[in-house]
Chains A and B, each alone.
Chain A
Amino acid sequence: MTVMASLPFLFILCTTLWRGPFPIREATGQFEDIADRPASAFLVPTLSYYRPLFHLSLWSVWHSASSIDGALRAIKLFHVVPIMVLVLLFIWILRPRSALDAAVATAAVAVLVGAPAFLGNLEPPLSYTIVGMPAALIVWMLLERDYRSWHGPAIVILTLVAIGFKEQGLAIVPLVVVAWWMGAPGTGRFTAAVVTVIAIAYVAFRLAHQGGKGWPPFEQDVGFLFSGLSSTEATARFGAFPVWIYLYSAASTVANVLLSEPTDGRFRIVLAVSEGRVQPWQIVHVVSSLALTALIAWWGIGALKSRTARTWSMEARLVVAVVVVLMVSGALSFDYSRDRLGGMAIPFYALAAFFAIRQAAERLSRQSAAVAAIGAVSLLLLAGAWQCRALFTIEFTRQRTVNGQREWLTDLYRRRTDYATRPVYLHVLDSMVDQGTDPARVVHPTRYPSWMRDLLGEY
């Protein structure tokens, strides 16, 4: 039932991404780099951004494809395949065995795909974290299964893949270490030691290659309370002692996963409430996140309390996994907060949602009729709110492809003139015009009735 309920969503989302145009801004520059530079150039970090495996993967596809069209199609797979693996593996890990399990699993899938941190990672060709998310989930699955000798190498490879696509993959390292410490059956001390060494070596390597003058204190715009600061403004304001703003950005990413607010470090919904212009969808987002996080906290405390001195249950380990991956995701976003930077934590948050909602439903079914009825309606509203958010993911992704096409239609001349001295860029740009402007590649969002749009969100 869960798979059947998820397949239409998965199909629509993946076909939207598969058919949609690559954005002119993000894609052409990336593809110019991989077309123009040798593979070895991506191994040495020259900027604060370092995604060697992402670039090498694209490089291999680009240089082995028989045509640019073929390369573009293959690069789309770096998004579509991880999304399918993530959702289907998520359901497989839950393995619903009863009607209640199946119903709760559909709600948990909605949490997974309705979260801003999932939506934020649906921008081809930037597949950095969407590759890391299923990798983390596979690692979790291996950690929780009976030990096999191949688990260790598989976990190490998955960790390297996730880190190679983006530093957010480092979140897998403490996950493996704490899982081993808590007695997870699928791993051992040696694997925990190896991934720790990998993490230390990676950080040392990155620090040793700062390009001589070091990284700037702020790479991108920084959100702060109700407004945003450009990197220059942020440097002027916080550059002398950036620790507090780093902590703020890290906490913002964590809060975005747990509460859907702030977004990019800015308290937009709080501001809307204070100015009396709050929208229904903003209430849906914050209240559904707040209620689910409260439910997860209630379940998590219970799971931790029920463990004995020597043994941790799987649920207790999951509680710790959620906290650890969330904290590391937050820490790795210290420079600026964005929805997408919480991506590695979302599969674990959604897994926790499954156990929390299921436990709540089981407990409520043993209460008095009145309490059970109120609880059941509350869970119905919670599941409904997250389904709205999952629908929003589809419509927002569609609108993003429409916006992407608009940029191709309006920005082409300016790009041709601005980059007139870069022949490779122009070649890539010209090769991509058709995919960028073909009307058949975009599907306009559904024009739901206004009350429904108010509940879903702005797209």
Chain B
Amino acid sequence: MTESRWRTAFMAALIGAPAIVAVLGLTAIEGYRLIQPVSPLFGDAPASLAESITRGYGVEYSYRFIRAGQNPNNVVVVDSENYTNGTSITVSPLMLAVAAHDDNTASMLLNFGARLDLPQNRFARCLAEEIGDKAMLRIIDRHGGHELTPPCPDRTAVATMPLLRWLD
């Protein structure tokens, strides 16, 4: 092979190398996705609705539990340093979403069956008001929160964490 042809082949190898690396990498990654779809490389899935909300997985992960049949009004067990001081409590997913400032999940829960007139949800608006989440207030009010929520009682002495204060 002449030097010129050798150099041309070398040029071709270098120019084509990124495409070969990309195609091999893509094929390997997508093959791995088929075998192990919940690997951290693709976003590990939460074990429960409560975990999905408290650890901020996102609304699409929270919705999977509702779609799988979990009632959005049924209480879930939570023990989180951020929301319950590590104490184990039962709380509705909506209250938890409000405490977590998770507008998307709160919207989804209300869209897919959460009811503001139920005891476990009726202070969701009060909680949103206390933590100053105006976007959340708008979402709750769009679903009739203003009309369905009783006047918020003074609970400042009840507990230190906002979520614990508004548990019914």
- CB of B22 closer than 8 Å to a CB of A: yes
A8 x B12 contact (CB < 8 A)? no
Chain A residues near B33 (CB-CB < 8 A): 443, 446
B26 x A361 contact (CB < 8 A)? no
Chain A residues near B21 (CB-CB < 8 A): 387
Task: Name A336-376 residues within 8 Å CB distance of B.
Answer: 357, 361-362, 364-366, 372, 375-376
- CB of B142 closer than 8 Å to a CB of A: yes
Q: Quick one: which of B20, B26, B27, B60 contacts A439, CB cutoff 8 A? A: B60
A444 x B42 contact (CB < 8 A)? yes
A361 x B8 contact (CB < 8 A)? yes
Tell me, rounded to whole Å, the shortest Cβ–Cβ distance linking A9 to chain B.
7
- CB of B29 closer than 8 Å to a CB of A: yes
Task: Name A434-459 residues within 8 Å CB distance of B.
Answer: 437-439, 442-444, 446-447
Q: A42 to B22, alpha carbons, bound, how many Å?
A: 44
B59 x A376 contact (CB < 8 A)? no
Q: A406 to B110, alpha carbons, bound, how many Å?
A: 14
Task: Name A71-117 residues within 8 Å CB distance of B.
Answer: 98-100, 102-104, 106-107, 109-110
Tell me, rounded to whole Å, the shortest Cβ–Cβ distance linking B139 to chain A.
9
Q: Quick one: which of B16, B40, B60 contacts A406, CB cutoff 8 A? A: B60
B26 x A372 contact (CB < 8 A)? no
Chain B residues near A410 (CB-CB < 8 A): 59, 103-104, 107-108, 111
Identity of the chain B residue whose Cβ is nearest the Cβ of A110 in the assembled complex:
B19
Q: A390 to B26, alpha carbons, bound, how many Å?
A: 11
- CB of A250 closer than 8 Å to a CB of B: no
| Contact flags B1-33 to A (C-beta < 8 A → 1, else 0) | 000100111111111111111110011011001
Chain A residues near B67 (CB-CB < 8 A): 437-439
Interface majority SS (helix, strand, loop, mixed), chain A? helix
Q: A107 to B15, alpha carbons, bound, how many Å?
A: 7
Task: Name A379-402 residues within 8 Å CB distance of B.
Answer: 379-380, 383-384, 386-387, 390-391, 394, 402
Q: Quick one: which of A5, A372, A380, A446 contacts B29, CB cutoff 8 A? A: A446
- CB of A428 closer than 8 Å to a CB of B: no
Q: How many residues of A contact B (CB 8 A)?
A: 53
Q: How many A-B contacts if CB must be within 8 Å?
A: 147
A100 x B8 contact (CB < 8 A)? yes
B8 x A390 contact (CB < 8 A)? no
- CB of B86 closer than 8 Å to a CB of A: no
Q: A77 to B43, alpha carbons, bound, how many Å?
A: 29
Q: A411 to B63, alpha carbons, bound, how many Å?
A: 14
B22 x A387 contact (CB < 8 A)? yes
B27 x A102 contact (CB < 8 A)? no
- CB of A405 closer than 8 Å to a CB of B: yes
Q: A107 to B14, alpha carbons, bound, how many Å?
A: 11
- CB of A309 closer than 8 Å to a CB of B: no
B16 x A106 contact (CB < 8 A)? yes
B63 x A439 contact (CB < 8 A)? yes
Identity of the chain A residue whose Cβ is nearest the Cβ of B39 in the assembled complex:
A447
Tell me, rounded to whole Å, the shortest Cβ–Cβ distance linking A420 to chain B.
13
Known contacts A410-B108, A414-B142, A444-B43; is-contact A102 B26 (Cβ 8 Å): no
Q: Quick one: which of A9, A437, A438 contacts B23, CB cutoff 8 A? A: A9
Q: How many residues of B contact A (CB 8 A)?
A: 42
B143 x A380 contact (CB < 8 A)? no
| Contact flags B65-96 to A (C-beta < 8 A → 1, else 0) | 00100000000000000000000000000000
A379 x B59 contact (CB < 8 A)? no
Q: A362 to B58, alpha carbons, bound, how many Å?
A: 51
Tell me, rounded to whole Å, the shortest Cβ–Cβ distance linking B52 to chain A.
12
B60 x A12 contact (CB < 8 A)? no
- CB of A412 closer than 8 Å to a CB of B: yes
Q: A443 to B8, alpha carbons, bound, how many Å?
A: 40
Q: Find the residue from A103, A372, A411, A447 having the highest chain B CB count within 10 A.
A: A103
A409 x B19 contact (CB < 8 A)? no
Known contacts A406-B60, A409-B104, A413-B110; is-contact A379 B23 (Cβ 8 Å): no
- CB of B64 closer than 8 Å to a CB of A: yes
Identity of the chain A residue whose Cβ is nearest the Cβ of B143 in the assembled complex:
A413
Q: Find the residue from B18, B20, B63, B108 having the highest chain A CB count within 10 A.
A: B18
Q: A444 to B57, alpha carbons, bound, how many Å?
A: 12
Chain B residues near A362 (CB-CB < 8 A): 8
Q: A4 to B36, alpha carbons, bound, how many Å?
A: 25
Q: A99 to B26, alpha carbons, bound, how many Å?
A: 22
- CB of B41 closer than 8 Å to a CB of A: yes
- CB of A154 closer than 8 Å to a CB of B: no
B12 x A100 contact (CB < 8 A)? yes
Tell me, rounded to whole Å, the shortest Cβ–Cβ distance linking B141 to chain A.
12
B26 x A9 contact (CB < 8 A)? yes
A409 x B59 contact (CB < 8 A)? yes
Q: Quick one: which of A8, A376, A438 contacts B11, CB cutoff 8 A? A: A376
A99 x B111 contact (CB < 8 A)? no
Q: Can you identify 18 A-B contacts, CB atoms within 8 angstroms?
A: A100-B11, A107-B15, A107-B16, A365-B7, A375-B11, A380-B14, A384-B18, A390-B22, A391-B22, A406-B60, A409-B63, A409-B111, A410-B59, A410-B107, A413-B143, A437-B67, A446-B29, A446-B41
Given A380-B18, A411-B107, A414-B142, 16 new contacts (CB under 8 A): A4-B23, A99-B8, A100-B12, A103-B14, A106-B18, A107-B16, A366-B7, A372-B11, A376-B14, A387-B22, A402-B60, A406-B59, A409-B107, A410-B59, A410-B108, A412-B111
